[in-house]
A = this chain, B = another copy of it.
């Protein structure tokens, strides 16, 4: 093994490793050793780039928070095709099937990480609120197209949808829900309200 030569950006390698672990094994498996092993580097590397493991996690969350899910965002930007409920179900499945939920669970459990992130975001980690903003904008676009009931308020409905999806996925006490399950849930829940 060569040393001293950067094999791609180590920082990015570690972040990608964390992604894979979160999706494959869940938040409880995200230890410092798991990350460095998955990235194929020695333990020391992590501490050369970050002060400590929570520092790494904080940087990881910051990095992942904004580019939440390209697929879902793109899908929602193309408002007007498909049914509203179907689009929502697909987008929510994509977003909550990504690392988003795991990141929230992580922040819920690691007290030190949470404290550190609060310095950056006093109002709370924006992962879920940013999803809500995404959904809100989508619903506003749909209303512009007249595909929503006039009384349906995107501002209020968005957090409810995110909350429901978070409930479905974040629980994680059963098998992860399929896209079809989410679609049916979203259908049943908001069908009467939106159309």
Which A residues lie at the B interface, using CB under 8 A? Answer: 26-28, 104-105, 107-111, 114, 117-118, 121-125, 128, 151, 153, 155-157, 159-168, 170-174, 185, 188-193
Are A109's CB and B109's CB within 8 A?
yes
Are A160's CB and B174's CB within 8 A?
no
When all copies of this chain in the complex are counted, the total is 2
Distance in angstroms from A115 CB to nearest chain B CB is: 10
Using known A-B contacts A163-B163, A172-B108, determine if residue A189 contacts B156 with beta carbons closer than 8 Å. yes
**Which of B27, B156, B192 contacts A192, CB < 8 Å?**
B156
Distance in angstroms from A158 CB to nearest chain B CB is: 9
Are B189's CB and A114's CB within 8 A?
no
> How many angstroms between the C-alpha atoms of A167 and B118 in the bound complex?
17
Other than A159-B189, A163-B164, give 14 A-B pairs with Cβ distance below 8 A: A104-B171, A104-B173, A105-B105, A107-B171, A108-B108, A122-B174, A124-B174, A125-B171, A125-B173, A156-B190, A160-B160, A162-B167, A163-B163, A166-B166
